[in-house]
Structure 1
Amino acid sequence: MSGLSFDPDAIRALAKILRETDLTEIELVENESRIRVARSMPAQQVVQAVSAPAPVAPAAVPAAAAPAAPAASDEVTAATPGAVTSPMVGVAYLSPEPGAAPFITIGGRVAQGQTVLLIEAMKTFNQIKAPKAGTVTRILVDSGMPVEFGEPLLVIE
């Protein structure tokens, strides 16, 4: 590791890119050197930012009342009964590999401890298991979607 040297200006530049693009993570790899800059945003702040404009838009534009279904999924929080939240920052995957059947479907039954999705973090696929048996009523993420710590992923009732 004695050969590693990082330019503080390069790290500051990567951090600036994170802020400007609303990304949560950037990783650069060159030969044996790796620079990873990551930030996390509390899930509640993201939900509040999405929820706050919603009441204003329908009042200003009557046609905006049509997408009521997506707004309902935004209302799911970590406190929602049956909500399964992300234990880490990463990328969610709904199936074990591309082209394979998904682990879960809306209306499908799951057993306690059954794998419901994967979260890739630092090139490791982590199984997210159902905390209880029940029926999947909502899936709040798409495959390949970045997720934050504490973010609701699905609802089991």
Structure 2
Amino acid sequence: MSKHSTDADVAFIKALAEILNTNDLTELSVKREYAEDDSLDVRVVKQANVITTTHAAPAMQMAAAAPMAAAPATNEDPAQHPGALTSPMVGTAYMAAEPGAKPFVALGDKVAEGDTVLIIEAMKTMNHIPATRAGTIKRILFEDGSAVEYGAPLMIIE
């Protein structure tokens, strides 16, 4: 932590927050060195909105690029759900193989264990993520093209 706080530090942190927003990032960490034993460590994190859908009538089925409809608020942690499919890595999650393509799955779709349900791009590599169990896609917990963290719940398969 810096031994001094200045208006320049505040401006620096505001600039980092602006970079975070304009580049659609979720987290940014920087260490600013002042002297041999004086530095400022800054970590700026944008809270991602988790949007879920518990069910959808045929009229409510949405394109993969459209935002998901919000589910009623609950106190349950989706990561603790026995049917939770969690992210095996940090990256960007996609519902389809390429922009404009048909999504791998939609709400209500039945999947077999091992079926590809999404892709996570990490380090310029497209990683196909398989269903961890057979069942029906009950909830999709991320937006197409959003950043995901390791262990974050992505879908609920029941």
Which TM bucket (shorter chain)?
A: 0.5 to 0.7
Deviation at 1:68, TM superposition (A): 7.4
Q: Following the alignment from structure 2 to structure 1, what is the Cα–Cα distance between the partners of residues 93 and 150?
A: 12
In the superposition, the TM-score normalised over structure 1's length comes to 0.57
Once superposed, which parts of structure 1, at least 4 consecutive aligned residues long, lie more than 3 Å away? none
Change (3 A) 1:76 1:123: same
How many residue pairs are counted as aligned between the two chains? Answer: 109
Unpaired segments of 5 or more residues in structure 1? 1-12, 27-38, 51-66
2:26 is aligned to 23
The equivalences for 1:87-98 within 5 A come to 87-98=88-99
Report the structure, 1 or 2, having the larger helix content.
Answer: 1
2:70 is the counterpart of 1:71: no
2:135 is aligned to 134
Could you report, residue by residue, the CA deviation over 1:6-46 in whole angstroms, capped at 9, with x for unpaired residues?
Answer: xxxxxxx8xx937x8473369xxxxxxxxxxxx8x8xxxx7
Unpaired segments of 5 or more residues in structure 2? 1-11, 30-42, 51-68
The equivalences for 1:48-59 within 5 A come to none
In the superposition, the TM-score normalised over structure 2's length comes to 0.57
Secondary structure of 1:78's aligned partner: helix
Deviation at 1:70, TM superposition (A): 5.4
Change (3 A) 1:117 1:24: same
Deviation at 1:132, TM superposition (A): 0.8
Change (3 A) 1:17 1:84: same
Is 2:109–2:137's contact at 8 Å kept on the other side of the alignment?
yes
Q: Letter of the 1:71 partner, please give it.
A: A
Change (3 A) 1:110 1:149: same
Secondary structure of 2:105's aligned partner: coil
Sequence identity percentage: 51
Is 2:16–2:28's contact at 8 Å kept on the other side of the alignment?
no
Q: Following the alignment from structure 2 to structure 1, what is the Cα–Cα distance between the partners of residues 118 and 106?
A: 11
